[in-house]
Every structure is written in structure tokens, then in C-alpha cells.
Amino acid sequence: MKKLLMLTVGFCFVLSGSAFAFHDAGVAHCNGCHTMHNSKDGALVDPDSPNGNAWLLKDATPSDVCLSCHSQSGTRGVFADDYLVPNVLHGGGDFSFLLEDLLQNAHGHTQPGDRAGHNINAPSKLVGPDATLTTAPGAIGAAFPSASLGCSSCHDPHGNQNFRLLYGIGGIQDGAFTFTAAAPIAEKSSSSAEANNNHTAYISGMSAWCGNCHGDFHSNPGGKLIHVSDQAMGGTISTAYSLYNGSDDVTGGVPATSYLAAVPFEDASNTPTFTGAPTATSKVMCLTCHRAHASSGPSSGRWDFNETFLEEDGGDGSYPIPNPYGVNQRSLCNKCHVKDAGDGPL
Ligand code: HEC
Ligand code: HEC
Ligand code: HEC
Ligand code: HEC
Ligand code: HEC
Ligand code: HEC
């Protein structure tokens, strides 16, 4: 796999620590994103759009505006401009994988980069809507159109007090669509690099929230035969998780250090520094297997679903999703299902 294009590094704020807070859990100063006259010091604010932009935005699309600050490596980066240090270890993952010309994929399968996750319409970053998925798969009722998908489809640009400024019940994107499920309850980590002892703490409601657009994949409506989400793990699976220590040691783990940020679950007692085991009532949810933004695996996987051995991910020079266990590690589905018991090495 080759990189499609090297990106030109745009103007970015340095977003380190609390040195520069912007949203402050609500609406930031308007001219961070809007320009009233498309004019500053007598020059155009957006030279690409002499006649101005919709919603009086400072750049062509809502996502372009967000990425004018959120595209760099580091705590708030969600689109690595240098492409070399992707933010895959943040909670959300990194949108720059959408630029892969062929998403690295095991066993000879390749997929275009737009299958890396949620596509956003941001001409400044050379990304646009998904070419295959024209609407949100699994929609019940009105399907969310891929052409409208962007940062402000999920995050309220005018801020609120929800986890990560995510939208709750009500109209989104200037009334273009309506959410019926509340924002998820979760606690953000304090660190830019995700670790097993510093990670997003998922408490409740994530699967229902994703169901605002993917409702048919949530809680098995109509009793369909699909993988459970928003469902308690039960005693057998939570015990398996707590003892699993990789393909080479499937039952030798220590429950107190068994938490894997690559395979998270929801629990009312989760905290960002929690390292322990799930209980029978901990829940499997959408972000157990997916990143919210994008990843270098297909379908925004937290690991590459098509690899037999995780060690082989990135073998063609693409970005390898870090392998949390040893060289013989197979799919992380095994963290809960232990189908790799007694298996041979790589
Ligand atoms: C973080 C960026 C950001 C900030 C800060 C911001 N806006 Fe917006 N605003 C947007 C975006 C993006 C849209 C386009 C609609 C959408 O995508 O939700 C928008 C749309 C609007 C609209 C028209 C549509 C609507 O939702 O009503 C108004 C009016 C508006 N903004 C006013 C303001 C005012 C007033 C402030 C300051 C108090 C402000 N905005 C601060 C990003 C921002
Ligand atoms: C002027 C620069 C700037 C722009 C434009 C901007 N942001 Fe931010 N954003 C920041 C900074 C700085 C932080 C970290 C401090 C804070 O939360 O205020 C941040 C933090 C965030 C966070 C994390 C909040 C949290 O609870 O930790 C989200 C989500 C976010 N921004 C989304 C957006 C979206 C969506 C847009 C576009 C509608 C946008 N930002 C536009 C500067 C910006
Ligand atoms: C505002 C609507 C919306 C919300 C909320 C939303 N999605 Fe999506 N999702 C879409 C659309 C539209 C597509 C198809 C277009 C695309 O893939 O870019 C999509 C595609 C996907 C894909 C397939 C990506 C690929 O190319 O294979 C996955 C996986 C996914 N969503 C997971 C999630 C998860 C997990 C959540 C919750 C954290 C979520 N979605 C929340 C609208 C949404
Ligand atoms: C499909 C919904 C969706 C879209 C589209 C989306 N986000 Fe997010 N974003 C989320 C969720 C959910 C989280 C929390 C991820 C976690 O902790 O697991 C998040 C987390 C974040 C964070 C915190 C850092 C991180 O990586 O977790 C920032 C900053 C952010 N988003 C900005 C953006 C920007 C800027 C865009 C557009 C380029 C965007 N988001 C598009 C759903 C979305
Ligand atoms: C147990 C892991 C797991 C969970 C939990 C999970 N997914 Fe997936 N998802 C996958 C895998 C693996 C794929 C790749 C295709 C497949 O195997 O079905 C996928 C594919 C997708 C796709 C792409 C479908 C397409 O038509 O290309 C979407 C959208 C999606 N998931 C959304 C969700 C949402 C929303 C949730 C929560 C309600 C969720 N997933 C929960 C593992 C999971
Ligand atoms: C966080 C734990 C967890 C992870 C990770 C996980 N699952 Fe599951 N899986 C469950 C639970 C819970 C059930 C429901 C089991 C039950 O009710 O007995 C389930 C059920 C299943 C079933 C149906 C079993 C049956 O008896 O009908 C299959 C197949 C399955 N999972 C495959 C996968 C695959 C493939 C992956 C990886 C893409 C995966 N799971 C990842 C927890 C998990």
C-alpha cells in the first residue's frame, strides 16, 4: 500500500494542555469558526471562497473548519497532517487513514481507503464522502446520507456538557436530521496516548447513541441473528476476558490487570485508570470492536478483523495497529471467545 498523496501542512494552532482552551464545554467565541464579512485587515479570510461560505463559516465545510485546528499529531489531533504519526491510539482513531489508496488488508484482500471508517467532507484534506456506502448501514427509518457526514454530525459545534461535546436527543446539523437517543455517558482520559491504564472510560449508552444512525445494529431489534451490542457479557465470557493473556496464554492472566484498551466494555464503575476485569453485567458495545472515527483496519476496526495473526498487520509498510500481546497473537475476538486455545504459532 502506498500513500495516496503527501499532505500539505496547513495552518494549525498548537493545542497543548490547558494553554489554549477553546470550547470550554459550551459555545466557543463565534469568530473561531465564523466570519461575518469574509474580511480581516482588508484581506479575505477564506481566499478560496471570495463570495464566502455557507453558514458564514471560515472554510468551505464544517469539517474543514474543525480540522483547521484539529489536524496534527497530539492530544486533540484527529487527522494527522504529517501522516507519519497517526493518532490511532486516541479514543476516536485517525481520519487520515481515509487517504490510503488501498487499505492494507490481510490475505490478499484490499479495500479503498474510504472503508477505513467514517468519511468526512473536507476538501482542505482531500477527503470526501464514502464511494460505496451512500447512507448509514443499519438505519431504521430515515437513513443518514453519507454526503452530509462530518464532524458536526456527531459533535455539537456550538458545544454542550456531554462527553466530547456529542449531540444528545434533538435536531443536529441545522435541523438536517434528528437524534432519538441520548449522548453516551463516558469519561475522557487525561492522556493523548491510549494505554491500558489510561483510556476512555465507557459507562453506558454508546451503542444506543450509534443507533441514532445505525439503529438496526443495536440491541438486536426483531430478534435478528447479528452480534449482540449493549448486552451484558454474562459470567462465562466476563471470566474468559479476565483470564485471557494472549494466544500463548489463554487462561493464565491476572484479573486485576486484564483490562485491554483495544477491547473495551461498558461498566458503571469504569474510570480512565481502571485496569481490572469486567463483571457479568459489563456490556459489549459498538466501540468494543470499532473506533468512532477511523482506523488503519477495515470498518474502523480496533484491530484488523481480516488478519489471522496481528503481527502480520502492516506487513506491506502500512501503519500496523499495535499488537497488545505476543508474536503469535490471533484476532482479539479471542479476548472474549478464546477460540485460539491450543493453536499453533505464527
Ligand atoms: C467550533 C466552531 C463553531 C463555533 C465556535 C460557533 N459556530 Fe456557529 N456553526 C458552526 C458550524 C459548523 C455551523 C454549520 C451547521 C452545522 O454543521 O451544525 C454553524 C452554524 C451556525 C448558525 C446557523 C445554523 C444554526 O445551527 O443555527 C448560526 C446562527 C450560528 N452558527 C451562530 C453562531 C454563534 C452566534 C456563535 C458564537 C456564540 C457560533 N455560531 C459559534 C460552527 C461554530
Ligand atoms: C480555533 C481552534 C478550534 C476549532 C476551530 C475547533 N476546535 Fe475543537 N478543540 C480546540 C481546542 C483547543 C480543544 C481542547 C480544549 C477544549 O476542549 O476547549 C478542543 C477540543 C475539542 C473536543 C474535545 C472536547 C473534550 O471534551 O475533551 C472536541 C470533541 C472538539 N474539539 C470538536 C470540534 C469540532 C467538532 C469542531 C468544528 C465544529 C472544532 N472542535 C473546532 C480547538 C478548536
Ligand atoms: C450521524 C450519523 C452517524 C452516527 C451517529 C454514527 N454513524 Fe457510523 N456511519 C454513518 C454513515 C452515513 C456511514 C456510511 C458512510 C461512511 O462510511 O463514511 C457510517 C459508516 C459506519 C461504519 C462503516 C465504515 C466503513 O467504511 O466500513 C462503521 C463501522 C460505523 N459507521 C460505526 C459507527 C459507530 C461505532 C458509531 C458510534 C460510535 C457510529 N457509527 C455512529 C453515520 C453515522
Ligand atoms: C460518527 C460520529 C463522529 C464523527 C463523524 C466525528 N466524531 Fe469525533 N468523536 C466521536 C466519538 C464517539 C468520540 C469519543 C471516542 C472515544 O473516546 O472512544 C470522539 C472523539 C473526538 C475527540 C477527542 C479525541 C479522540 O480522538 O478521542 C475529538 C477532538 C474529536 N472527536 C473531534 C472530531 C472532529 C474534528 C471530527 C471531524 C473531522 C470528528 N470528531 C468527527 C464521534 C464522532
Ligand atoms: C463483536 C465486534 C463488533 C461489535 C460489538 C460491533 N461490530 Fe460492527 N462490525 C464488526 C466487524 C467484524 C465488521 C466487518 C463486517 C462483518 O464482519 O460483519 C463490522 C462492520 C460494521 C459496519 C459496516 C457494515 C457494512 O455494510 O459494510 C457498520 C456500519 C458497523 N459495523 C456498525 C456497528 C455498530 C453501530 C455497532 C453497535 C451497535 C457495531 N458495529 C458493533 C464488529 C463489531
Ligand atoms: C467484549 C466481549 C466480546 C468480544 C470482544 C466479542 N464478542 Fe462475540 N459475543 C459476546 C457476547 C456477550 C455474546 C453473546 C453470548 C451469549 O449470549 O451466550 C457473543 C456472541 C457471539 C457469537 C454467537 C455465539 C452463539 O452461540 O450464537 C459469535 C459467533 C461471536 N460472538 C463472534 C464474535 C467475533 C467474530 C468477534 C470479533 C469480531 C467477537 N465475537 C467479539 C462477547 C464478545
User: What is the per-residue burial (b if ≥16 Cβ within 10 Å, else e) of 258-283?
Assistant: bbbbbbbbbbeebebebbebbbeebb
CA of 217 to the centre of ligand 5 (A): 8
Nearest to 117 by CA among 285, 263, 291: 291
Shortest-distance ligand to the CA of residue 240? 6
What pLDDT sits at residue 89? 65
CA of 158 to the centre of ligand 1 (A): 6
- Whole-number Å distance between alpha carbons of 344 and 346: 7
Least reliable range by pLDDT among 63-67, 108-112, 114-118, 154-158: 108-112
CA of 46 to the centre of ligand 1 (A): 17
CA of 63 to the centre of ligand 2 (A): 12
The minimum-distance atom of ligand 2 relative to the CA of 157 is 38
Residue holding cell 427509518? 141
- Whole-number Å distance between alpha carbons of 276 and 328: 24
CA of 107 to the centre of ligand 4 (A): 30
Nearest CA residue ID for atom 14, ligand 3: 136
pLDDT class of 84 with cuts at 50, 70, 90: low
Ligand 6 within 6 A of CB of 183: no
**Mutate-to-test residue for ligand 3 from 118, 149, 178, 179, highest number of ligand atoms within 8 A of CB:** 118
Residue holding cell 473506533? 291
CA of 229 to the centre of ligand 5 (A): 10
What pLDDT sits at residue 111? 78
What pLDDT sits at residue 15? 39
70 alpha carbon, distance to own chain's centre = 14
Between vectors from CA 259 to CA 258 and to CA 262, what angle results, nearest 5°? 125
Shortest-distance ligand to the CA of residue 172? 1
Between vectors from CA 297 to CA 294 and to CA 303, what angle results, nearest 5°? 100
Nearest CA residue ID for atom 29, ligand 6: 227
Mean pLDDT of the chain: 89
Shortest-distance ligand to the CA of residue 334? 6
What pLDDT sits at residue 88? 60
What pLDDT sits at residue 20? 65
Nearest CA residue ID for atom 3, ligand 5: 289
Nearest to 69 by CA among 6, 153, 125: 125
CA of 47 to the centre of ligand 5 (A): 41
pLDDT over 60 at 6, yes or no: no
Nearest CA residue ID for atom 29, ligand 5: 137
Ligand 2 within 6 A of CB of 66: yes
What pLDDT sits at residue 314? 81
CA of 22 to the centre of ligand 2 (A): 6
Residues counted in the chain: 346
